[in-house]
């Protein structure tokens, strides 16, 4: 299917997505490691950001890769990489990337849980070719950074503990569907404590 079809959905849902639509000037594109340290990351250009946010109205996940514009230092979507996800045999949504690069993205639509799945986290840990992963959800987006590759012998142990952290967040946030800033902060702290060199941040759309 022509990828212009997906971009045309932005026009279709522009006025429909009333819960998440905000002026892009209100988006915060810096991350705070602590009060004394600011870590910058690339800003997604506003047109593509709005396009992805409007995809959250869909019942399927969408995914792709992002590139950096060398002139503006902004991220932009690789249109040829956009893919529409499916359901697995258990009825769970997933999206398989057509191709991979240093920076990947995917959506968790409004009907889904708004935190990264265990598989989302493992993907960036197990693949040295992926350094950054953006996950767009109903309340905001996650930015995960990991450079390197987790040794194979540590995968099983980390997997079990990531599942435990995710399960805790699931139950603390009404099955992953209630926004709770305090629980988000605890969730991030638990993951960073578990996985050395993982940086993870959450940016709410509403400020």
Domain spans, the chain: 4-152+199-204
Q: Which of 8-12, 79-83, 196-200 is predicted with the least confidence, judged by mean pLDDT?
A: 8-12
- Binned at pLDDT 50, 70 and 90, residue 200 comes out as very high
Q: Which residues contact 183 (CB under 8 A, 6 or more apart)?
A: 169, 172, 173
Beta bridge partners of 86: 94
**Residue-wise pLDDT tens digits, 92-134:** 899 999 999 999 999 999 999 999 999 999 999 999 899 999 9
Q: Nearest Cα to 113, choosing from 64, 153, 66, 173?
A: 173
Report pTM.
0.80
Distance of alpha carbon 56 from alpha carbon 80, whole angstroms: 19
CA distances from 205 to 34, 109, 118, 142, 199 (A): 21, 14, 23, 11, 20
Q: Do 138 and 108 touch, CB atoms closer than 8 A?
A: yes
8 Å CB contact between 86 and 94: yes
Q: Which 3 state secondary structure label does DSSP give 86?
A: strand
Distances (CA, A) of 10 to 136, 150, 173, 180: 15, 37, 30, 28
185, 134 contact by CB (below 8 A): no
Q: Is 165 helix (H, G, I), strand (E, B) or coil?
A: helix
Q: Output the pLDDT for position 39.
A: 36
Q: Rounded to an integer, what distance in angstroms lies between the CA atom of residue 150 and that of residue 168? A: 23
Quick: pLDDT tens for 7-59.
Answer: 555 444 444 443 443 333 333 333 334 323 333 466 888 899 999 999 999 99
CATH top-level class of 4-152+199-204: alpha beta
Q: What is the pLDDT of residue 41?
A: 61
């Amino acid at each position: 299917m022509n990828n212009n079809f997906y971009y045309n959905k932005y026009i279709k849902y522009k006025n429909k997505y009333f819960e998440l639509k905000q002026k892009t000037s209100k988006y915060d594109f810096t991350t705070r490691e602590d009060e004394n340290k600011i870590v910058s990351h690339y800003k997604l250009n506003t047109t593509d950001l709005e396009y992805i946010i409007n995809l959250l109205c869909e019942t399927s996940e969408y995914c792709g890769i992002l590139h950096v514009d060398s002139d503006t230092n902004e991220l932009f979507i690789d249109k040829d990489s956009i893919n529409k996800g499916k359901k697995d045999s258990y009825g769970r949504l997933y999206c398989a990337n057509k191709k991979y690069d240093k920076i990947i993205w995917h959506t968790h639509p409004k009907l889904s849980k708004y935190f990264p799945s265990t598989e989302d986290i493992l993907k960036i840990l197990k693949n040295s070719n992926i350094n950054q992963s953006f996950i767009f959800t109903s309340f905001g987006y996650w930015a995960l950074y990991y450079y390197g590759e987790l040794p194979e012998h540590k995968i099983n142990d980390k997997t079990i503990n990531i599942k435990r952290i995710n399960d805790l967040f699931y139950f603390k946030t009404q099955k992953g569907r209630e926004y709770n800033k305090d629980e988000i902060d605890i969730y991030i702290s638990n993951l960073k404590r578990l996985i050395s060199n993982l940086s993870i941040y959450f940016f709410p759309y509403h400020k």
